[in-house]
Amino acid sequence: MTRCTKKRWQPRPVAEALQPVIVVPGPEAMAETAARWIADTIKASVAARARCFLALAGGETPRACYRVLGGPGFRNDVPWSAVEIYWSDERLVPLDDPASNYAMARAALLDHVPIPARQIHPAPVEQPDGALAAEAYARELGALPRDTSDRPRFDLILLGLGEDGHTASLFPGDPVLLEERAWVRAVRASKPPPDRLTLTLPLINASRAVLFLVQGAAKRSALQAVRRRDPRVPASLVQPVDGELRFIVDREALVEDPATV
C-alpha cells in the first residue's frame, strides 16, 4: 500500500523577473517567511559586522511580520541587543498617534524584544517644520557605516508597496524622486496624514539589502509595474547599487489566477 503524506508548504522563488521573488500562499505564511528572512539577515549582519542597522516600514503587512518577530519563536533567537532601529518613512504625527509607524512597530515588536531604548531611533516628529525634521533625522543617520559614496548604509530596509506604486513615502510624480543628495526629505503625501518624512532613493539604494512585502490582489498591477521596472512607478526605482533586492509576495498579488501558482 502506498502511503500518501501531505507535503509541508515551502516558500518558492519565481524566476520570471530580475529580482528574486518568494511566493507564499497567504498572510500567515507571509508573516512567517518575512520574519525568518529578517531574523536571518540580522544574525548574518551581527556575525559579520557586530551590529545590524535596520529600517522598518509601516503598514498592515509589516505589522503581522513584526508580531511574529516579537513572539516566542524569535524573541530569544535574534541578537536584538546588537540591532539599531530606524524607519524608512514616518508620518509627522505624535509618536503615540494611531497613524504613527513608530507606534505600530512599538506595539507589535519593540515592546516585546530586548532592544535597548537608546538603539531605537524614531523620527523627530515633535519638530513642526518638516524640512528641519528631515535634517535632524539625517543627522541621526550619521551613526551608520558609509558606502563608497559616503552615504549611510543600512544592513536591511523593509518596504511596502502601495496600490499606486509608492513605497516608503515616495509617491508618483513627486520631485523628491529626483533627489540626489539629501538622505531624508519632508514630503506631502497624496493620502492622509499628508505631512511625512521619507528616506530618499539614494539612501535606500545604498542598503546592503532591501525587502519588499507585498500582499493582496489590490497590489497586483503595481507589482507587475515594479517587476517591469516601469520608471513612472517609484518602487521600481529601488535598485540597490551593491546589495540584495528581495520580494516576498502572496499568490493574489502575483498573478491574475492565484490557483495557478
CA dist., res. 212 & res. 161, Å (int): 7
* Burial environment of residue 164 by CB neighbours within 10 A (0 to 12, 13 to 18, 19 or more): middle
Q: Residues of the chain with pLDDT > 90: what percent? A: 88
User: Looking at residue 225, what is its pLDDT?
Assistant: 96
Q: Which has more confidence, 36 or 5?
A: 36
pLDDT in tens, 84-143: 999 999 999 999 999 999 999 999 999 999 999 999 999 999 999 999 999 999 999 999
Closest CA to 165 of 225, 112, 105: 225
- Note the Cα 8 to chain centre separation in Å: 28
Q: What is the mean pLDDT of the chain?
A: 92
> Closest by alpha carbon to 172, among 239, 90, 235, 87?
235
Q: Count CB-CB contacts under 10 A for residue 220.
A: 18
| Contact criterion met (CB below 8 Å) for 243 and 207 | yes
pLDDT band for 18, please (50, 70, 90 cuts).
very low
pLDDT at 16 over 60: no
User: What is d(CA 154, CA 136) in angstroms, rounded to the nearest whole number?
Assistant: 18
For residue 256, the model assigns a pLDDT of: 59
Q: pLDDT tens digit string along 61-89?
A: 999 999 999 999 899 999 999 999 999 99
Q: What is the mean pLDDT of residues 236-245?
A: 97
CB 20 within 8 A of CB 247: yes
Domains of the chain are: 15-260 (3.40.50.1360)
The pLDDT tens digits of the residues spanning 157-174 come to 999 999 999 999 999 999
Q: What is the pTM for the complete model shown?
A: 0.91
pLDDT tens readout for residues 30-54 = 999 999 999 999 999 999 999 999 9
Task: Cell numbers for 71, please give them.
Answer: 513572539
* Residue 2: pLDDT over 80: no
> Residue 11: exposed, middle, or buried by beta-carbon count in 10 A (0-12, 13-18, 19+)?
middle
> What pLDDT is recorded for position 191?
85
- Would you state the pLDDT for residue 19? 65
> What secondary structure letter does DSSP report for 237?
G
